[in-house]
């Protein structure tokens, strides 16, 4: 079994992740992104610039989102690249396990120079969060964390959702899978590393299941309904014909073979 690797990042709604006053940034840009950096190598900047544009298009399409508000000019998303993990954590105030963070209202993403695979995953994940919040026209509040993280993991790579399902089947035999009530009440800051791993895996697996079984158009319908009514059970009924969260849990467990 392929190891289920977790790249943790932090979702922020009320604090600026980059304390610009304490640092001097250089900038470069692309059509939809401004990139702030200090000593990041040119090769990395070119890759970030190219890849973020690809994600902007791919994730918008993957979520079935029809965009009217484009990230142009002063509305571009901003990516801050610190030179090291230490510097990132010091200035962004993030914990030692964090590889990146996103400040949703300002479309700000922070991370640091690191291996390209990890950096690229962080980038896709955080862009996924921003786009999903745009789909729902929501900054915070009634959006369940598991749904937010599951969609960001799907945006990162749908194959990660399938890996998560394989990981969970093994975890289930050890009694480790969360009920949906536990999933809905989960607070990562208060949990241990293994529980966090289960939480992310389960969130990804459930969202991956919704896409695999019902497709992108139904997901877009689900977003529309959820945006209108802010009622998860109602949106699940309307877009997927499910009776609500409990029915989703049953249907997902059956799909995983752990009912």
The site for Zn ion (CB under 5 A) is made up of 9, 149, 152
> Which residue sits closest to Zn ion, CB atoms considered?
152
Q: How far apart are CA 246 and CA 252, in angstroms?
A: 10
Outline where 40-84 has alpha helix (H): 42-62
User: Which is nearer to Zn ion, 7 or 248 (by Cβ)?
Assistant: 7
- Min. distance of Cβ 116 from Zn ion in angstroms? 19
Dihedral pair phi/psi, residue 36, rounded to 5°: -105, 135
- Min. distance of Cβ 9 from Zn ion in angstroms? 5
- Min. distance of Cβ 234 from Zn ion in angstroms? 25
What percent helix, strand, coil does the chain show, rounded to 5? 60, 10, 30
**Number of residues that make up the chain:** 259
C-beta of residue 12 within 8 angstroms of C-beta of residue 171: no
- Min. distance of Cβ 153 from Zn ion in angstroms? 7
What radius of gyration, in Å, describes the C-alpha atoms of the chain? 18
User: Which is nearer to Zn ion, 13 or 70 (by Cβ)?
Assistant: 13
Q: How far apart are CA 150 and CA 11, in angstroms?
A: 13
Written as six digits, the tokens of 211 are: 């896409």
- Min. distance of Cβ 20 from Zn ion in angstroms? 23
User: Which is nearer to Zn ion, 128 or 251 (by Cβ)?
Assistant: 128
User: Which is nearer to Zn ion, 9 or 251 (by Cβ)?
Assistant: 9
User: Which is nearer to Zn ion, 48 or 152 (by Cβ)?
Assistant: 152
Characterise 84 by phi-psi region: left (phi > 0), alpha (psi -120 to 50), beta (else).
Answer: beta
- Min. distance of Cβ 254 from Zn ion in angstroms? 27
Measured CA distances, 198 to 142, 192, 206, 228 (Å): 22, 10, 12, 31
- Min. distance of Cβ 215 from Zn ion in angstroms? 23
User: Which is nearer to Zn ion, 149 or 225 (by Cβ)?
Assistant: 149
Q: How far apart are CA 66 and CA 227, in angstroms?
A: 14
C-beta of residue 18 within 8 angstroms of C-beta of residue 108: yes
User: Which is nearer to Zn ion, 127 or 223 (by Cβ)?
Assistant: 127
Taking each helix axis from N to C end, the angle separating 193-214 and 145-156, rounded to the nearest 10 degrees, works out to: 70
Q: How far apart are CA 48 and CA 78, in angstroms?
A: 12
């Amino acid at each position: 079994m392929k190891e289920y690797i977790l790249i943790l990042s932090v979702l922020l709604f009320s604090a600026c992740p980059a304390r610009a006053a304490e640092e001097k940034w250089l900038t470069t840009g692309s059509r939809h992104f401004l990139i702030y950096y200090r000593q990041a190598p040119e090769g990395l900047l070119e890759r970030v610039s190219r890849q973020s544009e690809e994600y902007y298009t791919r994730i918008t399409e993957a979520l079935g989102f029809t965009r009217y508000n484009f990230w142009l000019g002063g509305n571009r998303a901003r990516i801050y690249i610190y030179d090291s993990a230490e510097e990132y954590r010091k200035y962004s105030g993030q914990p030692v396990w964090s590889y990146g963070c996103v400040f949703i209202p300002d479309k700000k993403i922070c991370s640091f120079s690191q291996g390209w695979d990890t950096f690229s995953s962080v980038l896709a994940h955080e862009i996924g969060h921003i786009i999903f919040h745009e789909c729902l026209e929501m900054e915070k509040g009634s959006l369940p964390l598991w749904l937010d993280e599951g969609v960001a993991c799907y945006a990162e790579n749908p194959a990660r959702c399938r890996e998560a399902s394989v990981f969970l089947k093994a975890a289930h035999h050890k009694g480790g899978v969360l009920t949906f009530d536990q999933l809905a009440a989960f607070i990562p800051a208060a949990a241990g590393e293994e529980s966090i791993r289960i939480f992310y895996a389960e969130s990804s697996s459930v969202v991956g299941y919704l896409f695999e079984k019902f497709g992108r158009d139904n997901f877009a319908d689900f977003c529309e309904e959820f945006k209108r009514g802010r009622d998860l059970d109602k949106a699940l009924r309307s877009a997927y014909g499910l009776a609500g969260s409990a029915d989703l849990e049953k249907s997902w467990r059956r799909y995983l073979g752990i009912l």
